[in-house]
Amino acid sequence: MKNSKVIMLICASLFFLCGTVWADDTVTEFRKRSSDRATEISESDIEAEIQFGEELAARILGRFRAYDNEKATRYINLIGKGLASYSNRPEIEFRFAILNTDSINAFAAPGGFIFITKGTLEMVENEAQLAGVLAHEIAHITEKHIVKELNIKGGDESPLAGFASILGGGTSETMRVALTQLVDKAGEILFEKGLKKEDELTSDKVALMTVTNAGYDPVAYKRLLQGIKEKEEGTEKTKIVSTTHPSYEDRIKAMEKIISREWLNELKYLLVKERFDEYINL
């Protein structure tokens, strides 16, 4: 399946979560939706974020080919959209795709574009672990980490004033060069430098909240990171994630503090292995 076909698939708005486990709303205050922290955002800012994200998503698909597995891609969209329904960004249509690379990583582009690598899926053992990875990337978007880092806005205060017209073809070559340079910076963040350590740890924290609200075992995500650390750390497959994320030790310790403080290990929520094995047959 060509990249264009995958883009059409992940952009489809008909994939809504059916049958995914849902939790009640009474466990702890920790499980409050992150929408409590939502801030006002203008329509022009939203448009700029989405259009910039489209440019960055195209850059990601130019670096890694999309994986030719429509069944798995559809499944990941179903799970991802269900998780995104707990986010504080209802104005964003989230889209998910698989990248055909053995490296272990996942990427989030502003505007709702999320990519998980085939190598990561091969390490995942159940739907709860998959939910943790997707929720982490969703958090990068809901927390607007790249948007804030690069000051992506639709108004005159943005580095690219008149952002929408740039992408629509209505501005000068100088502005188009500025856009390209901004996308280059975002690519450098994703593939080389990484986001700030606190941004990654925040995304882990929000991911734990999200998967718990969705009824998944929140400890499963921590187990996935432990498994990657024990089996693959230092190999070529984890080279990118090791250089663009905090150490596994730091992430696991931070998650353990949250899990212990909020008694998340006592919840005994679901792993959903059978359905995962049915759809993720790589």
Average the pLDDT over 161-185 and give the result. Answer: 70
Average the pLDDT over 178-184 and give the result. Answer: 90
147 neighbors 91 (Cβ within 8 angstroms): no
34 neighbors 209 (Cβ within 8 angstroms): yes
Number of domains in the chain: 1
Q: What confidence score (pLDDT) does residue 231 get?
A: 76
Residue 164 lies in a domain: yes
For the ranges 6-15, 100-109, 161-170, 171-180, the lowest mean pLDDT is seen at 6-15
- What tens digit of pLDDT does each residue of 212-245 get? 999 999 999 999 999 999 876 656 555 555 555 7
Residue 274 lies in a domain: yes
Q: pLDDT band for 42, please (50, 70, 90 cuts).
A: confident
pLDDT of 162 higher than 90: no
Residue 35 lies in a domain: no
The proportion of the chain whose per-residue pLDDT surpasses 90, expressed as a percent, equals 65
Higher pLDDT, 188 or 232: 188
Residue 52 lies in a domain: yes
pTM, 2 dp: 0.81
Residue 24 lies in a domain: no
Residue 28 lies in a domain: no
Residue 27 lies in a domain: no
For the ranges 9-13, 86-90, 254-258, the lowest mean pLDDT is seen at 9-13
Residue 31 lies in a domain: no
The whole domain housing 194 covers 3-12+41-279
Could you count the other beta carbons within 10 Å of the beta carbon of residue 146? 24
pLDDT of 111 higher than 70: yes
